[in-house]
């Protein structure tokens, strides 16, 4: 492998900051319950939303569903439930609210696992797709 040349650019220099953030993924473990309660350290998720991990649990009870924008919560719950009826894996995009009030789009890809204690957990990734969603909305607006 050769060292990058002086003219080589880093990913951060080539892509807008929002796009680079989308490359960063938080790993999650959450219960398959009514609220999809987080069981893993939510530090990356908290960071994505502008909170500390403590604020995330204090303000939202560690409930992933409570982080979803209110008007999307029922839809997200239903989509996850429907996908799990057909497969142990889910993939869906939805909106979360940043601490500053901005909307953040995420892609959730998770897999259901039944643990030895009989409890169901979803293990997955949450990726920031806000930049690609903005581009897609601009494209549709210009059609």
Model confidence over 101-126: pLDDT tens digits?
A: 999 999 999 999 999 999 999 999 99
Whether pLDDT at 86 is above 70: yes
**pLDDT grade for 135, boundaries at 50, 70 and 90:** confident
pLDDT reported for residue 141: 84
pLDDT reported for residue 25: 59
Q: Is the distance from CB of 92 to CB of 66 less than 8 angstroms?
A: no
pLDDT reported for residue 15: 45
**pLDDT grade for 132, boundaries at 50, 70 and 90:** confident
Per-residue pLDDT reduced to its tens digit, 4-62: 444 444 434 444 555 444 455 578 999 999 999 999 877 888 888 999 989 999 999 99
SS3 content of the chain, % helix, strand, coil (to 5): 40, 30, 30
pLDDT reported for residue 2: 45
Spatial distance between the Cα atoms of 69 and 75, rounded to a whole number of angstroms:
11
CA angle 125-131-134, nearest 5°?
125
Quick one: tokens of 90?
Answer: 């889910």
Q: What DSSP assignment string belongs to 41-55?
A: --HHHHHHHT--HHH
Spatial distance between the Cα atoms of 35 and 15, rounded to a whole number of angstroms:
35
């Amino acid at each position: 492998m050769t060292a990058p040349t002086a003219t080589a650019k880093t990913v951060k220099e080539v892509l807008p900051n929002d796009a680079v953030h989308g490359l960063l993924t938080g790993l999650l473990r959450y219960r398959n319950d009514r609220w999809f309660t987080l069981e893993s350290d939510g530090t990356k998720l908290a960071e994505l939303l502008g909170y500390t991990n403590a604020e995330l649990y204090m303000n939202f009870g560690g409930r992933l569903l409570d982080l979803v924008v209110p008007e999307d919560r029922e839809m997200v719950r239903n989509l996850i439930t429907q996908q799990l009826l057909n497969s142990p894996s889910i993939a869906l995009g939805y909106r979360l609210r940043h601490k500053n009030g901005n909307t953040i789009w995420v892609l959730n890809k998770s897999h259901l696992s039944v643990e030895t204690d009989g409890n169901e957990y979803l293990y997955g990734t949450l990726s920031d797709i806000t930049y690609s969603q903005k581009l897609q909305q601009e494209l549709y607006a210009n059609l």
